[in-house]
Chains A and B, each alone.
Chain A
Amino acid sequence: MTDSTNPSQPSDSTRTKEGLRPVTDTRLDISQPVLEVSDLHVAFPSEAGQVRAVRGVSYAVRPGEVLGIVGESGSGKSVSSMAVLGLLPESAAVTGSVKLNGRELLGLSDNEMSKIRGKDIGMVFQDPLSALTPVYSVGTQIVEALQIHQDLTKVQARERSIELLDLVGIPDPKRRVDNFPHEFSGGMRQRAMIAMAIANDPKVIIADEPTTALDVTIQAQVLEVLKKAQDVTGAAIVMITHDLGVIAGFADRVQVMYAGKPVEAGSVDEVYYSPRMPYTIGLLGSIPRLDDTERRALTPIEGNPPSMVELPKGCPFAARCPIAIDRCREVEPTLSVKEGNTHPTACHRSHELGDTLDPAAIYPVPEVPEASDLEQRPRGERATVLELDNLTKHFPLTKGAVVKRKVGVVRAVDGISLDIREGETLGLVGESGCGKTTTLLEILDLPKGQVGTVTVFGKDTRSMNRADRKTLRRDMQIVFQDPMAALDARMPIGDILAEPLKTHGWDKERIAARVPELLELVGLNPDHADRYPQEFSGGQRQRISIARALALEPKLVVLDEPVSALDVSIQAGVLNLLDELKTRLGLSYLFVAHDLSVVRHIADRIAVMYLGRIVEVGDTQSIFDAPSHPYTQALLSAVPLPDPRRERERTRILLTGDLPSPANVPSGCRFRNRCPKYLSLDEAEQLRCRDEDPASAKLADDHSAACHFAKALEVI
């Protein structure tokens, strides 16, 4: 039982078991690593030169242990795990060593490897829709996984598949086993993937971003299933993710990767509470946190990760590191335990950090602009920018190819009322499919017909003429999630910014003056106006989208998931920019996001949406400190915190199942079939939930919830 890199934490379950094990017991030596990767290198040939995707990865996992690997996209996480499985294209040059129970895997033939894949090593991938073959039923695919490695008859394998589906929490597995992947929801597909991964009792499960494409509520369910799968199989888990929150509660040890190399490794507590490498410190400082109580500027890591083709000499992080010294640009640091540190890092200055250098102070904290006069005025005294009253959008559900028959109604937006005041950010949150985007599109459409009203800057959209609408379109702008799709790749960014100005009849000189001004406003170099979108990084492109939205000096900006496609270190900069612009230009934002930590950081008020309705709305503080609707409580409790100790202590409110279809809204309270509170109510109370659609009731000055039994609960 020697584990030199892990001197701490006797509390963790694995090690407790080891401690209880009699020394003479040699049946199962669980202190031996099952999977041991050492000095793994992967390079791909490319036209620009060799892509050195992985440059010396080493780790070991023991049975029952969870190793987390974090890093930004492109840092080599996926490639290194594919290399372990021997699933890289033939062109990849792989060196180093991968040992499974002491047996070397590198260099084995495809035949030999296929006896190990799926049997000793199970794999769970991201994006569960594309990870299952569309033309075979889920059952067929699990049966296949079983029959490859076990001598089972068709009937036995089918029985076992049903058991596995049941184990991972698929309701009605007997019937569901014959469904095809497209008939499963995202969360269910991921459960099926896990069922497949554990079908043959693997010794190691490698999970590559297993929850990245999922909603937090579903993420919490899937993580729970993964834990259960581990309990059942006793496997070691290698968990790859970019989400520091997920790792904090799930992993025992963590390894941070940058530019194809681990730069810091240790127990989660060591890495999260005493990071000793500037990149890790930067990552932890750049994420907005759900448990942040005061408003602070996030500390972004400036710049972008280096190209893996022409890596500069020295430390790959040097160009972005605030404490880089000359030596950093000459010699690449190796991963080792530096003097005075408890765990290994790859940094020349680790020994100073925590000693003479304060880790919390190495990144310059950006200034939060002082709240403007407008923002300081009480809410009631500010003008209303946007007001929705009972906004409704129903789509007919039709059937039939030639003659369409109406067979139902999709209640995408089912009576929404809210308002946004000047200089205010309203965050709209909820699971995907709950109607957020439809709401935005309805607002932008300035509807005439539908039930309910949209009032923008005091004018009812129903009574507007064309000229009014045009002015309004100028005052209200939108920024989309995917900056690449939203920007025309064939236009230089200068032209992209000039386009809305031209449409609104600005003359040449004014446009020529405005474009550089806009670029500067969003922190880009005005000299780059003649470059094309693809020459910019993701974060910069999002800045261009923001600049375009601001071109006509709007008053209200609608942001649809503006940072969810960005890496955290980049996201921080964009969030800071949005915050600053709001204060400087007196903007109002309607900010749609699924990441509640981001919303907490940026929003003044929050509206929680469920199945076409707002179930709770209020100022940010009330919503996070005293969430009162059971759905809000579940949503908040599902968000993982990047704080290992708190994560271990938290108990999650797990929601069952998926969001129901808006074509089939339950009677009474629409949340009742998933409501955890409902189960704890008595018969009469339950009846009320079933029969009576709860109206929004005021709980405090700026806080209301639509639940018959709304009661504040602390969940974070």
Chain B
Amino acid sequence: MGRYLLRKLANNLILVLLAASLSYFVAGLSLHPQSNYEGRNPPLAKSTIAKTLDDVNMNPDTPIVTRFITWADGVAHGDLGKTIDGSPVNDEVGRRIGVSTRLLLLATLVGSVGGVALGALGAIKQYKLFDRVTTLASFFILAMPTFVLALFLKLASIQFLGAGTIHFTGETDPEFAGHWDFAALGNRAEHMLLPGLTLVLIQVGLYSRYQRSTMLDVLGSDFLRTARAKGLRRRTALVKHGLRTAILPVVPLLVYNIVLLFVGATFTEKAFGWHGMGELLVNSITRNDVNATAAVSLFTAVLVLIAGILSDLMYAALDPRVRVR
């Protein structure tokens, strides 16, 4: 197993490098950083623009291969280059990873546990009221664009609790920014409430559908019957033998989804004004920021790699049948 994972890691590392390089070329050729400086009033001198672009290694007059080598050399030394503003991409990405982590850690935990629990319960109570309601609710949520769901939650909080009861813009109120004392934590929790809920609802909706269907397969299984014939109570058998087996096929899905949310929570971040990685993806493209775009791509590729390894590890931990490899 260890050797299998190492080999897989090596294989995938090559893929990550390839994907990241390819994205650099695509970004470098299709984005136009110069447009940020052209057409200004008063117009900037051509040489000034070129100088600024050269500083951040985004001058379209430099051959793309040369730019790539400069960039790749930097990346190899742990430097992702500069943003279009001239600040280091490293700082930007570092800060945003922090934001994304704070936003997602709790939400994915609650979302996946909730999704699995709700799905399993729905299967056990198939066609009963609980199942019908959760099925309907999940489809409703999944059919709604994230932005609309976020807006809906905001409006609901204003409607039912009154405007200003829950502060939902940004990570904190301005006066708490950068603070971590007790009061600031409370404020952070308050700000987390609605974006967190958005993410939780979406994940519960999605995961519960998968869990429900795999659980249904397991419910009629012979081994569950054996477990009960041994004398396990229904609920114990359902959890210990049923859910334990039914969760297997859901694990890879969960892992990939959760890991990729780190760049995929764009709409939630935008809707609630959190400056995470998802926002960076959109911003960097609209601002024609080649290096930031390349950094996000590299980050995404690394996430896929991590998700692959993590899901293999989790799967091996849960399913003895693959461990022998």
Q: Does B287 belong to the interface (CB within 8 Å)?
A: no
**Closest CB in chain A relative to B109 CB, distance in Å:** 23
B248 vs chain A, min Cβ distance (A): 7
- Output the least CB separation between B216 and chain A (Å): 13
A83 is an interface residue with CB less than 8 A from chain B: no
Measured between beta carbons, the chain A residues less than 8 angstroms from B32 are none
**Chain A residue at smallest Cβ distance from B4:** A401
Bound together, the chains give a CA A145 to CA B222 distance in angstroms of 16
Most chain-A CB neighbours within 10 Å: which of B4, B230, B318, B321?
B230
Q: Is the CB of B221 within 8 A of A402?
A: no
The answer to whether B230 and A196 have CB atoms under 8 Å apart is yes
Chain A contact patch, size range: 35 or more
- Tell me the complex Cα distance, A144–B232, Å: 9
Using Cβ atoms and an 8 Å threshold, which residues of chain A touch B228?
87, 114, 117
A134 and B222 within 8 A (CB)? no
B11 to A402, Cβ gap below 8 A? yes
CB of B226 within 8 A of CB of A193, answer yes
Q: Is the CB of B229 within 8 A of A144?
A: no
- Complex contacts, A145 vs chain B, CB 8 Å: 230-231
Taking the closest CB of chain B, its distance from the CB of A179, in whole angstroms, is 9
A114 to chain B, nearest CB (A): 5
Among A135, A180, A200, which residue has its beta carbon within 8 angstroms of that of B318? A135
Q: Mark B300-325, 1 if CB is under 8 A from A, else 0.
A: 00000000000000000011110001
Q: How far is the CB of B177 from chain A (nearest CB, A)?
A: 48
A127 contacts B229, CB within 8 Å?
Answer: no
Q: Hey, which chain B residues are within 8 Å of A131, CB to CB?
A: 222-223, 225-226
Q: Are A182 and B321 in contact (CB under 8 A)?
A: yes
CB–CB B231/A134 < 8 A: no
* Minimum CB–CB distance for A157 against chain B, Å: 13
Q: Is the CB of A134 within 8 A of B321?
A: yes
Indicate which residue in A110, A118, A130, A180 contacts B320 across the interface (CB closer than 8 Å): A180
Shortest A229–chain B CB gap in Å is 15
Q: Which residues of chain A come closer than 8 Å to B212, judged between CB atoms?
A: none
Contacts of A111 in B (CB 8 A): 233
Residue of A nearest to B229 (CB): A123
CA distance A133 to B236 in the complex (A): 14
- Chain B, residues 63-106, CB within 8 Å of chain A (1/0): the string is 00000000000000000000000000000000000000000000
Q: How many residues of B contact A (CB 8 A)?
A: 26
- Taking the nearest CB of chain A, how far is it from the CB of B135, in angstroms? 19
B319 CB contact (under 8 Å) in A82, A123, A135, A401: A135
Find chain B residues with CB under 8 A from A132 CB: 223, 226
Q: Which residue of A lies closest to B223 (CB)?
A: A133
Contact A130 B234 (CB under 8 A): no
- Is there contact, CB below 8 Å, between B223 and A180? no
The answer to whether A135 and B244 touch across the interface, beta carbons within 8 angstroms, is: yes
Give bound CA distance, A85 to B230, whole Å. Answer: 10
User: Which residues on A sit within 8 Å (CB–CB) of B23?
Assistant: none
Q: Which residue of A lies closest to B233 (CB)?
A: A114
Q: Which of A87, A116, A141, A149 is close to B225, meaning CB atoms less than 8 Å apart?
A: A87
Q: Is B51 an interface residue (CB 8 A)?
A: no
Given contacts A135-B320, A182-B321, contact A110 B226 (CB under 8 A): no
Residue among B223, B227, B229, B244 facing the most chain A CB atoms (10 A cut-off): B229
Chain B's closest residue to A86 (CB) is B228
* Bound CA–CA A477/B231 (angstroms): 51
Chain B, 219-260, CB within 8 A of any chain A CB: 221-234, 241, 244-245, 248
Pairwise interchain contact B231-A115, C-beta atoms closer than 8 A: yes
Interface residues of A in 164-195 (CB under 8 A from B): 180, 182, 193
- Which residues in A have their C-beta under 8 angstroms from that of B245? 133-135
Evaluate contact between B233 and A130: CB separation under 8 angstroms.
no
A401 to B324, CA, bound (A): 13
Assuming the contacts A125-B226, A135-B319, A137-B320, asked whether A130 and B231 have C-beta atoms less than 8 A apart, the reply is no
Can you list 24 residue pairs at the A/B interface with Cβ under 8 Å? A85-B229, A110-B233, A114-B233, A116-B231, A117-B231, A118-B230, A118-B232, A119-B231, A130-B221, A130-B222, A132-B223, A133-B241, A134-B245, A135-B318, A135-B320, A136-B241, A144-B230, A145-B230, A145-B231, A148-B231, A180-B321, A196-B230, A200-B231, A402-B7
